[in-house]
């Protein structure tokens, strides 16, 4: 870990705990800052805050008192999930107090270079693929961010011969100032998180911050099939490495004649790749390009592509029960992700969908639903998804209370040879704390069928 003196004797507010807040507060305390932690959960119900209090860190719990911002803070480290219209953040901005997220701290103390990965979809799969390829090549990668360990925790243990492979959300990227990945990947851009960002332009601007600080000695890997991504690439100072599933390229990674190419060389036949779905081809292409830039060897890359079948909760194969194959795609929290999941299968599909109602319709899902054999809905959006299903011509539609009850109902609607797919097209927060919890409930219910 770099010996950073920037924060010595500075008064800093860590706003919102969870894993990133706990890590940031402890790190800043270690770096000599005067840290105050503010979290909404009452202290008696907040073991994380209690632990920080025992370390000698000031803790304010049970709400977010705006008057706290009058205590002369020089920096706010914000939990990524707290929106910028939060009264505490608004007050900080009025006072011109810098606001960062924990990933910025991680960058400032890290001795290792970063491989930063963002995009609307595919971040988790791409991050995991890059990590697995580097690990198979004995390149000592570390994994951080939304998967793996909190970035500032990983960065404290990193050495110059490591690579920190990190998945980054738009929420995290909004709070960077100096963060500069050696290798950056932008997988794709679609409409998402407008309830947080307000406009599509603001969302795109947040994603573009990934390459904002890159220089000529860095690399920006980008989706050459999307005009809005290409536009961001054109503003980058890094060396540009495109990837495409639709056309051959002079450099970068692409698909042609049933083969995956990178830097003009054949890497692997598409028929040998274990991970299903055309959408995953984008993730694979960008991961191969990044892994090669970071020193992975071709043999290790090929081995990973032949054996890697997906990450947990992202088109994850669970098991086969009485000839039905069950897939957990709980991480599909938007319509596009569900569209891509459905397009990955040729077998008849019984779809399980529903969740938090963000006010949108599901009309965009209708064309993809036309091949669905049966539909089981749950959650706040059940009625809206059923309307889309009827419009698509699905004859068998059943509504249940939750994912656990959806599994046996889907089994009843299916036959041997069918796929039963949980791909909700919605966030989980109406019924489940996280999409991981929702996916775990699905997996448990599948096991109970046996």
Under 8 Å between Cβ of 333 and 146? no
pLDDT digits (tens, 9 = 90+) for 384-411: 999 999 999 999 999 999 999 999 999 9
What pLDDT is attached to residue 279?
Answer: 78
Q: With a threshold of 0.75, does the pTM exceed it?
A: yes
Q: Higher-confidence residue: 123 or 192?
A: 123
Q: Which residues are annotated as a binding site for ATP?
A: 119-125
Distance CA(324)–CA(254), nearest Å, equals 34
Distance CA(190)–CA(186), nearest Å, equals 12
Q: Among the listed ranges 280-289, 310-319, 372-381, 399-408, which one has the minimum average pLDDT value?
A: 310-319
Instruction: Give the mean pLDDT of 122-129.
Output: 92
What pLDDT is attached to residue 314?
Answer: 83
Return the structure tokens found at 294: 């970071």
pLDDT digits (tens, 9 = 90+) for 78-115: 999 899 999 999 999 999 999 999 999 999 999 999 99
What pLDDT is attached to residue 31?
Answer: 97
Under 8 Å between Cβ of 404 and 444? yes
Domains contained in the chain, CATH given: 11-100 (3.40.50.720), 106-307 (3.40.1190.10), 316-449 (3.90.190.20)
What is the distance in angstroms between the CA of the first residue and the CA of the last residue of the chain?
Answer: 49
Nearest to 181 by CA among 154, 149, 221: 221
Burial (CB count <10 Å: 0-12, 13-18, 19+), residue 299: exposed
- Quickly count: other Cβ atoms within 10 Å of residue 83's Cβ: 16
Residue 323 has pLDDT above 80, yes or no: yes
What pLDDT is attached to residue 4?
Answer: 93
Strand partners, 185: 117, 221
What pLDDT is attached to residue 198?
Answer: 78
What pLDDT is attached to residue 178?
Answer: 97
Residue 440 has pLDDT above 90, yes or no: yes
Q: Higher-confidence residue: 161 or 277?
A: 161
Q: Which residues are annotated as a binding site?
A: 119-125
pLDDT digits (tens, 9 = 90+) for 47-60: 999 999 999 999 99
pLDDT confidence tier of residue 313, bands split at 50, 70 and 90: confident
Distance CA(392)–CA(225), nearest Å, equals 28
Return the structure tokens found at 149: 């360990």
Q: What is the mean pLDDT of the chain?
A: 95
pLDDT digits (tens, 9 = 90+) for 414-427: 999 999 999 999 99
Residue 231 has pLDDT above 90, yes or no: yes
What pLDDT is attached to residue 150?
Answer: 93
């Amino acid at each position: 870990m770099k010996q950073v003196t920037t924060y010595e004797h500075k008064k800093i507010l860590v706003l919102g705990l969870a894993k990133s807040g706990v890590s940031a507060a402890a790190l800043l305390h270690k770096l000599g800052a005067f840290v105050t932690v503010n979290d909404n959960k009452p202290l008696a119900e907040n073991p994380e805050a209690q632990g920080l209090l025992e370390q000698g860190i000031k803790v304010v719990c049970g709400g977010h008192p705006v008057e706290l911002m009058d205590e002369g803070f020089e920096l706010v480290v914000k939990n990524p999930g707290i929106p910028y219209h939060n009264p505490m953040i608004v007050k900080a901005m009025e006072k011109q107090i810098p606001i960062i997220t924990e990933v910025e701290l991680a960058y400032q103390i890290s001795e290792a270079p970063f491989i930063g990965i963002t995009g609307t979809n595919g971040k988790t799969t791409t991050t995991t693929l890059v990590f697995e390829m580097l690990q198979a090549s004995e390149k000592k990668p570390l994994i951080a961010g939304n998967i793996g360990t909190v970035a500032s925790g990983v960065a404290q243990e990193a050495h110059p011969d490591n690579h920190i492979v990190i998945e980054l959300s738009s929420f995290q990227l909004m709070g960077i100032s100096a963060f500069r990945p050696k290798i950056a990947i932008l997988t794709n851009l679609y409409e998402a998180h407008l309830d947080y960002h307000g406009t599509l332009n603001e969302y795109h601007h947040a994603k573009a911050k990934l390459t904002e600080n890159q220089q000529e000695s860095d690399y920006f890997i980008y989706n050459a099939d999307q005009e809005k991504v290409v536009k961001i690439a054109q503003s980058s100072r890094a060396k540009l490495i495109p990837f495409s599933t639709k056309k051959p390229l002079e450099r970068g990674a692409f698909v042609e004649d049933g083969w995956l190419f990178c830097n003009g060389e054949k890497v692997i036949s598409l028929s040998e790749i274990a991970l299903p779905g055309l959408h995953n081809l984008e993730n694979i292409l960008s991961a191969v390009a990044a892994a090669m830039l970071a020193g992975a060897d071709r043999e290790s890359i090929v081995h990973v592509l032949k054996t890697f079948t997906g990450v947990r909760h992202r088109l994850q194969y669970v098991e086969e029960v009485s000839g039905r194959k069950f897939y957990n795609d709980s991480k599909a929290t938007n319509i596009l992700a569900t569209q891509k999941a459905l397009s990955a299968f040729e077998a008849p599909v019984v779809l399980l969908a529903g969740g938090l109602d963000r006010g949108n319709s599901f009309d965009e899902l209708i064309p993809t639903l036309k091949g669905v054999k049966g539909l089981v809905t749950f959650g706040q959006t059940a009625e809206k998804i059923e309307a889309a299903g009827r419009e698509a011509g699905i004859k068998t539609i059943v509504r249940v209370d939750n994912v656990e009850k959806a599994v046996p109902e889907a089994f009843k609607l299916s036959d041997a040879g069918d796929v039963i797919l949980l791909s909700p097209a919605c966030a989980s927060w109406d019924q489940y704390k996280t999409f991981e919890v929702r996916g775990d409930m699905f997996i448990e219910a599948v096991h109970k069928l046996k």
